[in-house]
Structure 1
Amino acid sequence: MRKKIVTVKFNIALSVLYTFAMAKVGFMLRDLAEFIKYGVSEEKLNALKVMLAGFADIPTDEELLGDQISATQRKDEAGVLLRDAVSEVMQRVANRFGSQSGKYRKFGVSGLSDLDGGKLSLTARRVLRVAQSMLSELESEGLTQEVLDELNTRLEIYDQALSIQEDAIADRDIATENRVEKANEIYTLLVKYCNTGKKIWEDTNEAKYNDYVIYDTPTGQPNDDKATLAEAEL
């Protein structure tokens, strides 16, 4: 079953959601005596503040992308060294048996420069295994146990770097989904409370009424001629 993609359900930028929402909570605490009449207690507002603090503590996508890029760079660097080690072994195999021989083909190396990820790891592992079994036949071409040990070391380093990269990608996906889910939850509650605030002041205090207006724009402010009020989206 395909996993449902979680998307942001509003236009306010996630980077400004925390400060924007905290400002609104400040207005609500100022007007707490009126909000209580609608069941919005200080306890509920403090709970919203806790939600906002938790949201702010989630690493941003920019941070996680940086980790992912760094992990990918380390994996790519390890991949270059691993391909070099495989290529050095295969050159010895070609020198001994020829590149069209059955023994050469047994190594299963094709398009080495384009191999990456699990395919590169699998190929390098096979080369190591087959070369080990043919070591005595390839000694005349300079293949030694030390050469194979170096290949094994580079393979282990690559596998570790690949695992770290995959973890970084997964961590980013999970954190991004979690951040979006929490943002949607916060925004829904914020609009609900702000609608209450507008109701409280709509006929008595225009300035306070405006404190609770949310525009469905990246800043939450009317900076777009086509800006619409947030409640129209709910």
Structure 2
Amino acid sequence: MKKNQVVREFHLTDAILKQKADEFINLLDRDIVEFTDRGYTPTKKTEFTKARNAVDNFPSDEQLEAIKIELTAQKDAARDALSKTMRTILNMAQNVFGLGSAKYKEFGGSDLARQSDAELVRNAKIMSITAEKYLTDLQNEGLTSDKITTLTTQRDTLDLGIDAQAKGISDRDVATEDRIEVLNTLYRLLIKYAGIGQDIFYETDEAKYNDYVIYDTPSGLPEETPIPPTE
């Protein structure tokens, strides 16, 4: 069964949500007598504090994206290095065997730029085997066992880079969902205590009542109604 997509239940920014949680923890301490009467206990304070800390300790979306970008850059650099080595060996084979020869075609597809990362890795494996086979023929072009080893090493590096990038993308997607769930948990607690606070101080203490009012906007402030233009 396909997992339902996790979505944010609020419009506050992460930073404002965290700030509001900090404020509310202090407000509940201030109004502990009234909230104790409504079932607020040290255990529930610990629950609220842990929810706040979970948000604080979780990597931000920007951090997760930066990790993915770095893994992609590493994979791309590995691809560039491998492609350069492969082009050189193809040039050696072309010079010795000719572009349309069967032996040249044994080295694999020459349209390296059009190949996907996975195809390039597969082609590099074919090329390393073929290069070993024709090492003697291509020695005068500069092919050596060390260069074939470099080809193999670069192929393995790209292969690992592909896996690392895929895992990084997957980890980011999972972490993003986990982060949203953590944020939603904190928001639910915030709304719960906001409602209790408003109920406690309704028509008895306007200032304290207002302390527990939350505006579900990115800034946490009421949205301003645009002033109509004057004629």
Q: Return the alpha-carbon distance in structure 1 between the equivalents of residues 102 and 89 of structure 2.
A: 16
Q: Percent identity?
A: 35
Please, which runs of 5 or more residues in structure 2 have no aligned partner?
A: 227-231
Following TM superposition, where does structure 1 have runs of at least 4 consecutive aligned residues deviating by more than 4 angstroms?
Answer: none
Do the aligned partners of 1:32 and 1:42 also contact (CA within 8 Å) in 2? no
- What amino acid is the match of 2:49? K
Name the residue aligned to 1:203: 203
How many residues align structurally? Answer: 226
- Structure 1 pair 3/115, CA: closer, same or farther in 2 (3 Å)? farther
* 1:109 partner SS: coil
Q: Deviations over 1:43-82 (max 9, x none)?
A: 2022111111122111101112222222222222221111
Name the residue aligned to 1:48: 48
Name the residue aligned to 1:68: 68
Give the superposed CA RMSD: 2.0
Name the residue aligned to 1:98: 98
Of 60-69 and 36-45, more deviation after overlay is shown by: 36-45
Q: Deviations over 1:127-169 (max 9, x none)?
A: 1122223333433443221220111122233233333333332
Q: Deviations over 1:77-129 (max 9, x none)?
A: 22111100011111122222222233333333242123343222222122112
1:46-195 alignment runs, 5 A limit: 46-195=46-195
Of 196-205 and 59-68, more deviation after overlay is shown by: 59-68
Do the aligned partners of 2:79 and 2:158 also contact (CA within 8 Å) in 1? yes
Name the residue aligned to 2:229: none
- What amino acid is the match of 2:14? L
Q: Return the alpha-carbon distance in structure 1 between the equivalents of residues 172 and 224 of structure 2.
A: 32
Q: Return the alpha-carbon distance in structure 1 between the equivalents of residues 4 and 125 of structure 2.
A: 37
Do the aligned partners of 1:217 and 1:224 also contact (CA within 8 Å) in 2? no
* 1:209 partner SS: helix
- Structure 1 pair 79/40, CA: closer, same or farther in 2 (3 Å)? same
- Structure 1 pair 15/100, CA: closer, same or farther in 2 (3 Å)? farther
Name the residue aligned to 2:37: 37
